[in-house]
Amino acid sequence: MNGAEILVQTLLANGIEVSFANPGTSEMHFVAALDRYKDMRCVLGLFEGVVTGAADGYYRMLERPASTLLHLGPGLGNGLANLHNAKKALSGIVNIVGEHVTTHLRYNSPLQADIEGIARPVSAWVRTATDAASIEPLAVAAIAAASGPPAAISTLVLPGDAAWGNAEFTAMKAPRKSLKPVAADAVDQAARRLKSGEPTLMILAGAALKGVALDFAGRIAGRTGCRIATQFFSARLERGAGRVPLERIPYAVDAAIAMLKPFRHIITVNTAEPIAFFAYPNKPSLLKPEGCEVFELCADGDDASQALTDLADAVGAKAGDRVVQSAGERQRPSGALNPQTIAQAMLATMPEGCILVDESVTTGRESFGVTAGAAPHDNLQNMGGSIGYGTPVSTGAAIACPDRRVLCVVGDGSAMYTLQSLWTQAREELNVTTVVFANRQYQILKNEFGAVGAGRPGANALSMLDIDNPTLDFVSLAKGLGVSGKKVLTAEELCREIDRGLATPGPYLIEVQL
């Protein structure tokens, strides 16, 4: 069997069934091998940022890595920003990056690059296959590193001669690690803080935002009166009516400081103490008040469900103590489109089980909290701050969960980074409704201009902050990528079009003119 086939077989034997891909000449044997194994779903992205972001979205929903197929250093480089976001979201991904045939490397041909060097900052594991025989053990190690826990990004570099050379396939299985149990002493220390009577905030992330762990956090809050919150961004949060409600630490530094001011204790679960997204003149980077103690209950890779179950026991919390999110008023808004009516339209229309991918930037920042009262759904956010994550992550989430509806809400500036995602959504007939907030500017950067003390933007600065000239026509852009859509001018129209998008098979785009 050739090395490329061994690689495909090893991926399949270890539960990796999707290859988000954008190949080139050096990967043709791998492409041929993928061609021979129909169990591997091959999903073409027309830009590598789509490929890597889709792998991130897929992992977030299934908690199982997908593979990517990337062309040499430049292909990997194009995918880096969304690999960065995936790394911060603790998503597991196995990158397969083609490399020149070993004997060709000495000639410094046009596409030659330092692939390992490009991969290293985003990868927990990077290796280059030396020959066909090295592929299976390396692939197994790559899969193990990507699977975690904690999950991470692996990059396996595949030279052409390793792919076309022959070796034996032995059906090796990647070893599985378990979550690390949290010691009784740590649980006791957290319980002591919760029982101290002093104001305590528990900040949850990662696995603590789902299922059993979230439920027990809700019991602890109900029993002890502690408050429970997320950071401003979460990789995947189960929210909606009937679930445990979590506060959200605000993005703006002053608002975050004000929210955190009352607390004497912060207990962290799969996250660290709250920090500012950026530094500003005369504002702190660390947001907790003076004298507030931070206690880490769980680190990445620790068993948050066990820790929170044990902690609930330790504070005497029972099922009946669980705090519950009430249903929001599902009234359909009318009139002008603004952050409030848009949020209300989402609250009113989001169906149960919907996957809400949020890259709304300023349009959602202050108002989307009301969607916590929507039907139960998953909320995915950008963990790495590199924009252009929303449409690719939606694509991967839809591949992972074909029976669910994906609603992607995205600023117009952010949408333009990776709009090619729509083409993949059309080709794969994915149920993604994309709502673009067309305010024709990088609004957040206009706000930040003043916030960092840079004064008022003049003509040159505004030429880098406005995106209105020429006007982006998202309905036409979508049409060109194979997706139908509609521009809306009122809240009624927005509700109607979200309904239409969510009810129609395949992708749909709504341009919200602001």
**Binding residues for ligand TPP (CB under 6 A):** 81, 361-363, 385-387, 411-414, 439, 441-445
Minimum Å gap between C-beta 465 and ligand TPP is: 8
Q: Which is nearer to ligand TPP, 303 or 412 (CB)?
A: 412
Give the C-alpha separation, 171 to 96, whole Å: 19
**Would you state the structure tokens that stand for residue 51, as one six-digit string?**
């490929």
**Would you state the structure tokens that stand for residue 101, as one six-digit string?**
């045939």
Minimum Å gap between C-beta 280 and ligand TPP is: 15
Minimum Å gap between C-beta 412 and ligand TPP is: 5
- The residue written with tokens 């599985």 in the block is 176
Q: Which is nearer to ligand TPP, 178 or 460 (CB)?
A: 460
Beta-sheet strands, E only, within 38-192: 41-44, 66-70, 93-99, 125-128, 153-159
Minimum Å gap between C-beta 416 and ligand TPP is: 8
Give the C-alpha separation, 344 to 388, whole Å: 25
Q: Which is nearer to ligand TPP, 306 or 441 (CB)?
A: 441
Q: Which is nearer to ligand TPP, 240 or 413 (CB)?
A: 413
Half-sphere exposure of 251 (CA within 13 A, CB side): 18
Q: Which is nearer to ligand TPP, 426 or 465 (CB)?
A: 465
Q: Which is nearer to ligand TPP, 101 or 336 (CB)?
A: 336
Q: Which is nearer to ligand TPP, 442 or 508 (CB)?
A: 442
CB-nearest residue to ligand TPP: 411
Rounded to 10 degrees, the C-alpha dihedral 419/421/425/431 comes to -80
Minimum Å gap between C-beta 49 and ligand TPP is: 9
> Does residue 182 contact residue 193 with C-beta atoms inside 8 Å?
no
Q: Which is nearer to ligand TPP, 296 or 359 (CB)?
A: 359
Q: Which is nearer to ligand TPP, 11 or 55 (CB)?
A: 55
> Does residue 186 contact residue 150 with C-beta atoms inside 8 Å?
no
Q: Which is nearer to ligand TPP, 371 or 431 (CB)?
A: 371
> Does residue 325 contact residue 372 with C-beta atoms inside 8 Å?
yes
Residue type, 345: A
Minimum Å gap between C-beta 459 and ligand TPP is: 18
Minimum Å gap between C-beta 486 and ligand TPP is: 19
242 φψ region: left (φ > 0), alpha (ψ -120 to 50), beta (else): left
**Would you state the structure tokens that stand for residue 309, as one six-digit string?**
């179950």
Long-range contacts of 34-40 (CB under 8 A, 24+ apart): 34/8, 34/69, 36/5, 36/8, 37/5, 37/8, 37/9, 37/12, 39/12, 40/8, 40/11, 40/12
Minimum Å gap between C-beta 414 and ligand TPP is: 3
**Would you state the structure tokens that stand for residue 416, as one six-digit string?**
């333009």
Residue (of 75, 66, 87) closest to 11 by Cα position? 66
Minimum Å gap between C-beta 385 and ligand TPP is: 5
Tell me which DSSP letter residue 403 carries.
Answer: T
Minimum Å gap between C-beta 438 and ligand TPP is: 8
**Would you state the structure tokens that stand for residue 427, as one six-digit string?**
């080709």
Give the C-alpha separation, 343 to 330, whole Å: 11
> Does residue 49 contact residue 176 with C-beta atoms inside 8 Å?
no
